[in-house]
């Protein structure tokens, strides 16, 4: 689907900033607002940071982008949505990678007790050291 088709399929108006943000996110990765703004500005002459926040909010509410916010890191956005994948985050440098969910649909973990809550998601974040940080640590020894 093209960006225009994606937006229309969710009942969103097609605008140049929305298309540009979708394009940037489609490049993959988990991007901070700052990075998204810089890349969008290479495509569009002028767009404010606030406009980017507005676009990201609309895309996230429409299920076209996903917002993640690992502890100690600014919010990041990605285009990979709808598969309930999880993330592994490096404690050293903050690098983030996708980890497929073994179950695939939320919530993939059943709480031992839910206290009457209707649980619809389990947020799973794996923490550790990425390969680069492991090498750096080994070199420091």
Binding site for Zn ion (CB under 5 A): 78, 90, 92-93, 95, 98, 101, 108, 130, 133
Provide the minimum distance between the beta carbon of 10 and Zn ion in the complex, in angstroms, as a whole number: 20
- Of 11 and 102, the one with the shorter C-beta distance to Zn ion is 102
d(CA 136, CA 83): 33
Residue (35 or 98) nearer to Zn ion, CB: 98
Least distance to Zn ion from the beta carbon of 109, Å? Answer: 7
In the block, tokens 């988990």 appear at 30
Supply 109's token pair. 């973990």
Q: Of the two residues 62 and 133, which places its CB atom closer to Zn ion in the complex?
A: 133
- Give the C-alpha separation, 82 to 104, whole Å: 9
CB of 84 to Zn ion, least distance (A): 6
Q: Where does 44-105 have alpha helices with state H?
A: 49-61
The Cβ-side half-sphere exposure at 124, using a 13 Å CA radius, reads 22
107 cis-preceded (ω within 30 degrees of 0): yes
Shortest CB 44 distance to Zn ion, Å? 25
Residue closer to Zn ion by CB (options 18, 87) is: 87
């Amino acid at each position: 689907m093209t960006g225009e088709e994606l937006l229309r399929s969710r009942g969103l108006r097609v605008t140049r900033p929305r298309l540009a943000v979708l394009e940037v996110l489609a490049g993959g990765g988990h991007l901070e607002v700052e990075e998204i703004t810089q890349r969008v500005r290479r495509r569009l002459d002028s767009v404010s940071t606030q406009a980017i926040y507005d676009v990201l909010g609309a895309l996230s509410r429409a299920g076209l982008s996903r917002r993640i916010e690992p502890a100690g890191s600014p919010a990041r956005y990605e285009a990979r949505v709808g598969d309930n994948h999880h993330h592994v985050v490096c404690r050293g440098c903050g690098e983030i990678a996708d980890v497929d969910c073994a179950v695939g649909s939320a919530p993939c973990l059943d709480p031992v007790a839910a206290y009457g809550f209707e649980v619809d998601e389990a947020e799973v974040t794996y923490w550790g050291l990425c390969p680069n940080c492991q090498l750096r640590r080994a070199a420091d020894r």
